[in-house]
Chains A and B, each alone.
Chain A
Amino acid sequence: MSKVETGENAHRDDERTGHDAQGPHGEVVRLPMVSPGPLEPPGAWERLRERCPVATVELPSGDRATFLSRYADVRAMLSDPRFARPAAGDDSARLSADGAGGVAADADPEYELAIPENGAPHQRWRRQVGRYFTAKRMAALRPGMTRVAESLLDEMVERGQPADLKAALGFPLPVYVICELLGAPAEERDRFSHWSDAFLNVSRFTQEETRAAFGEFAAYMRDLVAAKRAEPGEDLLSMLIVEGAALPEEERLTDAELLATGMGLLVAGHETTANMIGKMVALLLSDRDRWERLLRDPSLIRTAVEEVLRFDANLGGFGIRRYLSEDLDLDGKVLPRGTTVCCGMSSANRDERVFTDADEMDLARSPNPHLTFGAGPHSCLGQALARTELHVVLEVLLRRLPTLELAVPTGELRKVEGLLVGGLREVPVRW
């Protein structure tokens, strides 16, 4: 754990005794924090990193949590094998008011997912599923992804400009890819999209809507798992069933685990990537020099994708959360058992202690140990898939539509609101 160099001891004393949700200037810090523009980081991050790296914050529910903003603290917290995300039945802080939170926002006994949360059972699950997401397996999907991306772009160009790049490419490509992987029909994407949004709900839907969507989604996935069991195909769910049969019984995924895995992968596999594709294109086009540099030197695509991942300030307003199941000593300050910690990965990604000129986008930055996929044993399972999709999209766009530009001023881009994940609602483009 890093030592705190700045003089915030007085503030820390306040926190120890007062538990007020206060930033360095005494104001209440509420999550999600407010940004000056759709692609800009909240101004509070820098102040918190400098003066209050372990801050008390208020969530939409009114509950209090602890927000970490520095790289070293966020990385250490995410890497700590003792702690996992808040679970149903613990006394963690709620995100949403009125119990409206989706499965991924507020765990609830009514819709708990059967994926093991931590320790050896989590690692067993992780390795059984992770084997299907290796770098080599994802590289093998690349030619197929490129063909899909090219045909989606052809359709967009045919329909004429301006167009919404998110609706035309950013959303359908990852949906198609994850559906192929899972063996689910991509034609159902509108239903999947609604179920995913509800899964990630913080404040867009009511509790009734969130629960109804979860019920439909779970019923759908239960039927899909049963169908794969009856007649296995070449997809991931089928392979988990067929290849899992060779394992000792206690190591096989149960039907409940298969169901939760399928739901989790379907949501994670398209929602986050769809948003990132839109933000990547917007970030690269918002400064023409970035786009021109990539046109001149496409060998920068790999580092550019990592830099976009680091630079994105709209990843979601709450970071990844951890529930402290025991007291934690953080730089000499004790965070008591029962604390909910919000790990501010995007703030950490702007920490000057780790990234030189952190507020500058450097398309050749290397190494780039950003925390956008998390860190530690729960680090994103699908990151090789996400990277491959982002590489493919950028490569195809640079090759097919070099004259691409945003069709609205950057400031008029509209953010996705009310969900656990951040993004842009649409990305209007011309070419």
Chain B
Amino acid sequence: MKVHIDETRCCGAGQCVLLAPEVFDQRDEDGIVVLLTPEPAPPHHPAVREAAAVCPTSAITVDEDGGGA
């Protein structure tokens, strides 16, 4: 799995951080998403998929075939 984020779309809702704190964070200076782990390990995949599905600005995309994990 490979995760992509679009900072320009992000509105700082923070759902991704609540769901997958190992993968996503928010910048202190403006609340915008930070991708901590572009290729998360399989145990995090369900939470990452959920984060992408509920992101209010569709700023997260998941490439299921990408990455080594």
**Residues of chain A whose beta carbon lies under 8 Å from any beta carbon of chain B:** 79, 126-128, 130-136, 138, 302, 306, 366-369, 373-381, 383-384, 387
A376 to B8 CA separation, bound complex (whole angstroms): 11
B interface residues, tally (CB under 8 Å):
23
B56 to A, closest residue via Cβ: A379
A-B contact pairs, 9 of them (CB 8 A): A131-B29, A133-B12, A136-B26, A373-B56, A375-B57, A377-B9, A377-B11, A377-B57, A384-B15
Residue A373 contacts which of B13, B18, B25, B53 (CB distance < 8 angstroms)? B13
Produce 1/0 per residue, B35-49, CB < 8 A to A: 000000000000001
B32 at the interface (CB under 8 A from A): yes
Is the beta-carbon distance between A136 and B17 smaller than 8 angstroms?
Answer: yes
Contact A134 B57 (CB under 8 A): no
Closest to B52 in A: A367
Contact B57 A383 (CB under 8 A): no
B64 interface residue per 8 A CB criterion: no
Knowing that A134-B31, A384-B13 touch, tell me 14 more A-B residue pairs with CB under 8 angstroms.
Answer: A79-B57, A79-B58, A127-B31, A131-B12, A131-B29, A131-B30, A132-B31, A135-B18, A136-B14, A136-B25, A138-B14, A376-B11, A383-B15, A387-B18
Given contacts A136-B26, A379-B11, contact A127 B17 (CB under 8 A): no
Residue among B12, B15, B53, B56 having the largest count of chain A Cβ atoms under 10 Å: B56
B54 touches A (CB below 8 Å)? yes
Task: Return chain B residues, CB-CB under 8 Å to A135.
Answer: 14-15, 17-18, 26
Name the one of A127, A368, A374 contacting B12, with C-beta atoms under 8 angstroms.
Answer: A127
Check B54–A376 contact: CB distance below 8 A.
no
| Cα distance A380–B57 in the bound complex, in angstroms | 11
Q: Which residues of A contact B54 (CB under 8 A)?
A: 306, 367-369
Kindly state the separation between the CA atoms of A376 and B56 in the bound complex, as whole angstroms: 6
Q: Chain A contacts of B65 at CB under 8 A?
A: none
A302 CA to B19 CA, complexed, in Å: 10
Residue of B nearest to A81 (CB): B9
CB–CB B50/A133 < 8 A: no
Judge whether B50 and A130 touch: CB under 8 Å: no
Could you say which residues of chain A place their CB within 8 Å of the CB of B28?
Answer: 131, 134
> Is B49 touching A367 in the complex (CB atoms < 8 A)?
yes
Q: How far is the CA of A131 from the CA of B27 in the complex (A)?
A: 8
Closest Cβ of chain A to B12, distance in Å, is: 4
Q: How far is the CB of B27 from chain A (nearest CB, A)?
A: 8
Give CA–CA (A129, B15) in the complex, Å.
Answer: 17
- Which A residues lie within 8 Å of B53 (CB)? 367, 369
Once the chains bind, are B11 and A384 in contact (CB under 8 Å)? no
Residues A374 and B56 in contact in the complex (CB < 8 Å), given A135-B17, A135-B18, A138-B14: yes
Give the distance to chain A from B35, nearest Cβ to Cβ, in Å: 15
A376: nearest chain-B partner, CB-CB: B57
Determine the distance from Cα of A290 to Cα of B58 in the docked complex, in whole angstroms: 31
**Cα-based distance from A387 to B18 in the complex (angstroms):** 10
| B56 contact set on A, CB distance < 8 A | 373-376, 379, 383
> What is the minimal beta-carbon distance from A240 to any residue of chain B, in angstroms?
13
**Does A379 lie within 8 Å of B31, measured CB to CB?**
no
A387 CB contacts on chain B under 8 angstroms: 18
Interface pair B30/A128, CB less than 8 Å apart:
yes
6 tightest Cβ-Cβ pairs between the two chains A and B: A135-B14, A367-B53, A127-B30, A379-B56, A135-B17, A130-B31
